[in-house]
A = this chain, B = another copy of it.
Amino acid sequence: RPAVDKEVDFANYFCTYGYLYHQKEMLSDRVRMDAYYNAVFDNAAEHFRGKVVLDVGTGSGILAIWCAQAGAKKVYAVEATKMSEHARELVKANQVEDIVEVIHGSMEDVELPEKVDVIISEWMGYFLLRESMFDSVICARDRWLKPDGMMYPSHARMWLAPIRSGLGEQKKNDFNSAMADWYSFVDETEAHYGVNMGVLTKTFHEEHEKYFLQTSLWNNVHPNQIVGSSVVIEEIDCLTATVDDIRTVTAEFSSSVETDRTHISGFAGWFDVHFRGNAQNPARHEVELTTAPSVDDCTHWGQQVFLLHPPIRACVGDTVHVSFTMSRSKQYHRLMDVEFTTTLHASSGKSLQPRTAKFYIE
Binding site for B on A (CB under 8 A): 5, 7-8, 10-12, 19-21, 24, 27-28, 33, 37, 60, 62, 65-66, 69, 86, 89-90, 92-94, 182, 185, 189, 192-200, 203-204, 207-208, 211
Contact = CB atoms under 8 A, between A and B. Distances in A.
Contact of A20 (B5, B60, B196, B207): B207
**Chain copies in the assembled complex:** 2
A348 to B, nearest CB: 44
**Interface SS, A side:** helix
Contacts of A92: 199
A90 B28 contact: no
11 contacts: A5-B7, A8-B10, A11-B11, A21-B207, A21-B211, A86-B203, A90-B195, A90-B197, A90-B200, A93-B199, A94-B195
Contacts of A207: 19-21
Contacts of A182: 24
Contacts of A8: 5, 7-8, 10-11
Contact of A196 (B5, B7, B86, B93): B93
Given A27-B189, A200-B89, A62 B195 contact: yes
Among A33, A92, A193, A196, the one with the most B-chain Cβ atoms within 10 Å of its Cβ is: A193
A5 B65 CA distance: 37
- Sort A-B residue pairs by CB-CB distance and give the 4 closest, nearest first: A93-B199, A11-B11, A7-B8, A20-B204
Contacts of A62: 193, 195
